[in-house]
Amino acid sequence: MTVTIYDVAREANVSMATVSRVVNGNPNVKPATRKKVNDVIERLEYRPNAVARGLASKKTTSVGVILPDVSENFYSELARGIEDIATMYRYHIILSNSDQRPEKELQLIETMYGKQVDGIIFMSEHLTENVLTQMEKSPVPIVLAGTVDETNKLPSVNIDYYAAAYEAVNRLIQNGHTNIAFVGGSLSSTIIRGYLLAAYKKALQDASIDLKEDNIVETDASYEDGMEAYKQLQTLSHPPTAYFASNDEIAIGIIHGAQDTGKLVPNDIEVISFENSKLARMVRPELTSIALPLYDIGAVSMRLLTKFMSKETVEETNVHLPYRLEERDSLKK
Amino acid sequence: MTVTIYDVAREANVSMATVSRVVNGNPNVKPATRKKVNDVIERLEYRPNAVARGLASKKTTSVGVILPDVSENFYSELARGIEDIATMYRYHIILSNSDQRPEKELQLIETMYGKQVDGIIFMSEHLTENVLTQMEKSPVPIVLAGTVDETNKLPSVNIDYYAAAYEAVNRLIQNGHTNIAFVGGSLSSTIIRGYLLAAYKKALQDASIDLKEDNIVETDASYEDGMEAYKQLQTLSHPPTAYFASNDEIAIGIIHGAQDTGKLVPNDIEVISFENSKLARMVRPELTSIALPLYDIGAVSMRLLTKFMSKETVEETNVHLPYRLEERDSLKK
DNA sequence: TTGAAAGCGCTAACAT
DNA sequence: ATGTTAGCGCTTTCAA
């Protein structure tokens, strides 16, 4: 009942091979027969079966995308960048949420192999040993998006988180602060623990500011966590006068935590964030923030993957995109 | 080099059929041979090829998900609900963004057919004639998620938008307002034009309040649009004292628009929203809002689709999930 | 309980 | 420029 390439061939009085050629745009077909075949295709409403094609050609034109949670803005932004470039290169996306659980990540990678994807884009806050080795022996190319592999064995697209965080903290120091809090989403995140926190410490040290361990609070990444962290920090004998937040939600939580107790931002305390999602402009004061090019990270990752999939040689496999400091009102000018 | 079912059969001294049986959990296999086969599978690291399986069985265990834009919170929330249930039933998701463009929607549906998906979840602000007829003659089941087909020809999962909007506007009227603005994202949206606006008008009429066309502003759905709309409404001789916003971003825009000119919410103006995303608690005052169960709409849609795909009979094909009015602080109690 | 064999719908040599 | 043919790796009757 479904019409196959064979039906088209019969109706058009040509061979399957010829039909295949016109469907795939092979130039070695006489215009007349091409037209004849196309007419039949249209008449029969023939639609190539991508599964059969995949089996015969060993290419599925689909790529697996594994991320912690699509409903988080951070990842959905990346996903959109990935999808746009995928579409541009005629790939389709098989999307799965890992919830950041290593067993699930492992299993999803296996599933993607089973589905015969031509490549994989992988995102995770933290890469475990197992997952890493699993990916290193992958039968298809893999690119990490917004995800750090400290061994640099896998291709990846990121920004220079360390430099960005250093700049952020330093900006606070320039404004005269010596009592600066670090409020970071889960420290199991490689980026946060490995780069943001390290840069924070280094910036303080370079400015000869003593590190106060109490000024470092590890939370989850939500708004409530930011508020909570703010409250907690107010119990110190000398509460911080400046805050470095690892994402916008936390930053907004801090700001509201302060405002709810009558403090003014940026007059009483100053806050700098690390993300610059659209939330950044949806608070009063608007957030000064390191701007992460999430869409671009996704897009460039996918572009990189297309190169691997078509076996082009790529010069730089660990790409660092530029970031910038977006100056707004949660910091004095 | 890749190990196939044939390799396993040979190594285990059984036929391909037997291997296929154990892989698919067919009970008609002697435990001893099952064990023997499983051992070989493990030893050879055999992984079934889902593409070959799909070709032979005519089922791919993948479903197409077509939505306007994953990076919008509304849709990524739905997507998460869809994915969770899909995973539960061992389906995988092929995700595509339509950007709400009918030609692209049409083309994506075709692509999904080509990919031999077992079903489709479709989301769109507005269904064009073409897209609708295309879906009606679909070879696979389709479920609309958070998407209205006024002819009710396709299965769908929604809330009763009309009742919800009526309740929201009525809440404003109860608070004594007679000068109420309607600020809605693009009126090309079936939900907004067909239900929210209609309910707004009806609620006013039922309360014998004259409709002022100037109080209705059509914008896009963003924060800036909300601010813009607020400003525009202040140019009226009698600016509205209450605002019904079709989503949280617009509502926040309105609130900030007011606050930026020294107005107090809810004392000077009151605002009610329609979404209740996590943004709702991230503003001061927190938003009073109709709570849309987006995750659930996604989840139930997928569940419904699984029923269609396994040819179960379903009683209700146009499901309406409950909503509720979340009382917070942008409205007086 | 197990095996043999015929496809599923297409691509990709290889011929012509 | 076009046709023939052998798979791709699996499921699924049908037999035994």
Q: Which residue has the tokens 């691997």?
A: A308
* Mean pLDDT of all residues in A318-333: 96
pLDDT tens per residue, range A253-290? 999 999 999 999 999 999 999 999 999 999 999 999 99
Number of residue pairs across A and B with CB atoms under 8 Å? 133
Cis peptide before A266 (omega within 30 of 0): yes
Scanning every strand, the nucleotide with its C1' closest to A2's CA turns out to be C9
pLDDT tens per residue, range A92-132? 999 999 999 999 999 999 999 999 999 999 999 999 999 99
Cβ <8 Å between A96 and B93: yes
Specify the pLDDT at position B258.
97
Specify the pLDDT at position B173.
98
Specify the pLDDT at position A72.
95
* Mean pLDDT of all residues in A324-331: 97
C-alpha span between A95 and A91 (Å, rounded): 13
Q: Smallest Cα–Cα separation from A256: which of B283, B287, B330, B254?
A: B283
Specify the pLDDT at position B299.
98
Confidence class for position A187, pLDDT limits 50, 70, 90: low
* Mean pLDDT of all residues in A178-203: 93
Specify the pLDDT at position B188.
75
pLDDT tens per residue, range B113-131? 999 999 999 999 999 999 9
Encode chain A in three state secondary structure: CCCCHHHHHHHHCCCHHHHHHHHCCCCCCCHHHHHHHHHHHHHHCCCCCHHHHHHHHCCCCEEEEEECCCCCHHHHHHHHHHHHHHHHCCCEEEEEECCCCHHHHHHHHHHHHHCCCCEEEECCCCCCHHHHHHHHCCCCCEEEECCCCCCCCCCEEEECHHHHHHHHHHHHHHCCCCCEEEEECCCCCHHHHHHHHHHHHHHHHHCCCCCCHHHEEECCCCHHHHHHHHHHHHCCCCCCCEEEECCHHHHHHHHHHHHCCCCCCCCCCEEEEEECCHHHHCCCCCCEEEECCHHHHHHHHHHHHHHHHCCCCCCCCEEEECCEEECCCCCCC
User: Residues A65, A79: contact at Cβ < 8 Å?
Assistant: yes
Confidence class for position B187, pLDDT limits 50, 70, 90: low
Q: How far is the CA of A28 from the C1' of C16 (A)?
A: 15
Closest CA to D5 C1' — which residue?
A: A17
Q: Is the pLDDT confidence value at B186 over 90?
A: no
Specify the pLDDT at position B46.
97
Q: Is the pLDDT confidence value at B175 over 80?
A: yes
pLDDT tens per residue, range B310-332? 999 999 999 999 999 999 999 99
Task: From chain B, pick out residues whose CB is under 8 angstroms from the CB of A71.
Answer: 73, 76-77, 79-80, 295
Q: Smallest Cα–Cα separation from B169: which of B258, B272, B317?
A: B272
Task: From chain B, pick out residues whose CB is under 8 angstroms from the CB of A139.
Answer: 2
Specify the pLDDT at position B185.
82
DSSP summary character for residue B193:
I
Cβ <8 Å between A55 and B55: yes
What domains are defined for chain A?
A: 5-48 (1.10.260.40), 61-159+294-324 (3.40.50.2300), 161-291 (3.40.50.2300)
Task: From chain B, pick out residues whose CB is under 8 angstroms from the CB of A77.
Answer: 71
pLDDT tens per residue, range B32-41? 999 999 999 9
pLDDT tens per residue, range B202-230? 999 999 999 999 999 999 999 999 999 99
Specify the pLDDT at position A333.
83
C-alpha span between B291 and B245 (Å, rounded): 13
Specify the pLDDT at position A188.
76
* Mean pLDDT of all residues in B227-234: 97
DSSP summary character for residue B235:
T
Question: A16-30, A178-192, B82-96: lowest mean pLDDT where?
Answer: A178-192
Cβ <8 Å between A96 and B95: no
The chain-wide mean pLDDT, for chain B, equals 96
Tokens standing for A216?
Answer: 């470092």
Give bridge partners of residue B288 from the DSSP assignment. B272
Say what percent of chain A tops pLDDT 90: 97
Q: Smallest Cα–Cα separation from B174: which of B325, B322, B285, B323?
A: B325
Q: Is the pLDDT confidence value at A1 over 80?
A: no
- Which residue in A55, A79, A114 is closest to B70 by CB distance? A79
pLDDT tens per residue, range A281-294? 999 999 999 999 99
pLDDT tens per residue, range B42-56? 999 999 999 999 999
* Cα nearest neighbour of A110 on chain B: B47
Strand-by-strand arrangement of the B270-275 sheet: B216-218, B180-184, B242-245, B270-275, B288-291, B324-326
Burial of B262 (0-12, 13-18, 19+ CB in 10 A): exposed
Element (H, E) at B303: helix B294-309
